[in-house]
Structure 1
């Protein structure tokens, strides 16, 4: 949640409260926030860059762009990220979203100067960080392309993605303990699920960092690439994913995410129900027909 590079490297940001709109997935769950009012007219991007890449612009690339602060996460940046994700989701060709930073830092943590003067009553009443997990609810496939530092909130943001790819010089960690606090945006929860209790305890209780190879060996990231090739590789992966049925992708993503919340027995039951649901889609019929006819499927996302 917080950065442990010198706080002098972080740029102070305003205490604008994060607000978001969570888009529905197949389970039809809605979480509404004040960000609804921003969706009709997206604000000018100050902390992010947005680009569309791949065949038919099927991959949205969102780049965190606070270089002087090593992409430290602040409420304004996260609000902008939420709105930008929603903007990308609204593009009919987009099947995957890549979130990345610079080669020096994916995100060095949350903005310490924004938090330093707050007290319990303020963070509790404001429900601080409540809108920071919008990434995890996207119906699109989200790929985190991590170069450089992904510490505290940066590591937590990466773990909200569906897939993490890392550059060879990437560093991951949850060093909040060094500031007398603990992770607050999922670090103690998602890290355990990704690398196991013992390793999560080690990282969170010591504040130490691990490199990209170790993160890959531990199962935190899927693959490691040279830093200058990382985003291109993420886009290639996004293009491959985009060639599938968007309906099936969304159903599959929901089934996998259910495994975090349910017992194996319940998870298997939900998986079977979701599998059955694909038989109501045109893409399931097309996919199986194409297989029998020995040709490439022509999905219509229906």
Structure 2
């Protein structure tokens, strides 16, 4: 598939998706959201893709928010539909992928950009990264899951402060908050993420998918995460990966997982 606003590249089990609108600081518009959806969908369905990394082009921005010009004149109904469609197509979609997604946050991650990063399974930031949800300064609130996912990551108080002030935090603050897992030099960001991805891809794709589902279950209202874990644990025993993993351990050799 040919994309206009993103670049998708595959290399040795890792698909790297780059938002490529540098003149707009990689801001999300309708076209970009649709293309990201398809790129993630293609990677998820590709059995050779074991890890996905998402980043922004250039060194200034991961994604510096949404393209405000597209919704500045919306009414209440259109605004609600915008949020619902965006969550369905991209933000919830990313969170629920069975393929691990690492956000390589280079530069500004604001508004919808930060919301996309926190929908990913975890985040690594460059030293120059700045993160925030400035929507209240525009008379609106985060609409792509920011009011729900941010408190889960940094706690209610810190999320309240970030959202209500509309201010930005730097990479070191994000690390202290637990918003990102690592902070690295800008030049090393993608290679560092590749290093983590290479560790992940040695493991069972089936087990990884079940682990993601079980972890996500614990954050869903009305869902008993422990019961979901028990069922997921049991399903692993029916996979070829389990047989291979246990055999390799007992035979003192490296496992060769097939994702079956």
Q: TM-score, normalised by structure 2?
A: 0.94
Q: Match for residue 219 of structure 1?
A: 178
Q: Distance in 2 between matches of 1:68 and 1:231?
A: 21
Q: Distance in 2 between matches of 1:263 and 1:217?
A: 30
Please list the CA deviations of residues 8-61 of structure 1 after superposition, one character each: whole Å capped at 9, or x if unmatched.
xxxxxxxxxxxxxxxxxxxxxxxxxxxxxxxxxx3x2110011112xxx20000
Q: Distance in 1 between matches of 2:39 and 2:60?
A: 23
Q: Distance in 2 between matches of 1:202 and 1:276?
A: 41
- Looking at both structures, which has the greater relative contact order when contacts are Cα pairs under 8 Å and sequence separation is at least 6? 1
Q: Match for residue 287 of structure 1?
A: 245
Q: 1:256 aligns with which of 178, 196, 215?
A: 215
| 1:108, distance to aligned residue in structure 2 (A) | 0.4
1:129 aligned to 2:123? no
1:77 aligned to 2:32? yes
Q: Distance in 1 between matches of 2:17 and 2:258?
A: 26
Q: Match for residue 277 of structure 1?
A: 235
1:103 aligned to 2:59? yes
1:173 aligned to 2:127? no
Larger relative helix fraction: 2
Q: Distance in 2 between matches of 1:122 and 1:252?
A: 36
Please list the CA deviations of residues 159-204 of structure 1 after superposition, one character each: whole Å capped at 9, or x if unmatched.
0100101001101101111111110001110000000000000000
| 1:250, distance to aligned residue in structure 2 (A) | 0.5
Q: TM-score, normalised by structure 1?
A: 0.81
Q: Match for residue 235 of structure 1?
A: 194
Q: Check 1:87–1:159 CA distance in 2 against 1; reply closer, same or farther (3 A cut).
A: same
| 1:91, distance to aligned residue in structure 2 (A) | 2.3
Secondary structure (helix, strand or coil) at the match of 1:298 reads coil
| 1:90, distance to aligned residue in structure 2 (A) | 2.8
Please list the CA deviations of residues 59-97 of structure 1 after superposition, one character each: whole Å capped at 9, or x if unmatched.
000000001100010111000111111222232211111
Secondary structure (helix, strand or coil) at the match of 2:18 reads strand
| 1:123, distance to aligned residue in structure 2 (A) | 2.7
After TM superposition, which residue ranges in structure 1, 4 or more long, deviate above 4 angstroms? 125-128
Contact 2:98-2:210 at 8 Å conserved across structures: no
| 1:125, distance to aligned residue in structure 2 (A) | 5.2
Q: Match for residue 98 of structure 2?
A: 139
Q: Check 1:223–1:293 CA distance in 2 against 1; reply closer, same or farther (3 A cut).
A: same
Structure 1: 5+ residue runs without aligned partners?
Answer: 1-41
Aligned-residue RMSD, C-alpha: 1.5
Please list the CA deviations of residues 192-243 of structure 1 after superposition, one character each: whole Å capped at 9, or x if unmatched.
0000000000000001111111101110111111011101111221121111
Q: 1:52 aligns with which of 10, 16, 20?
A: 10
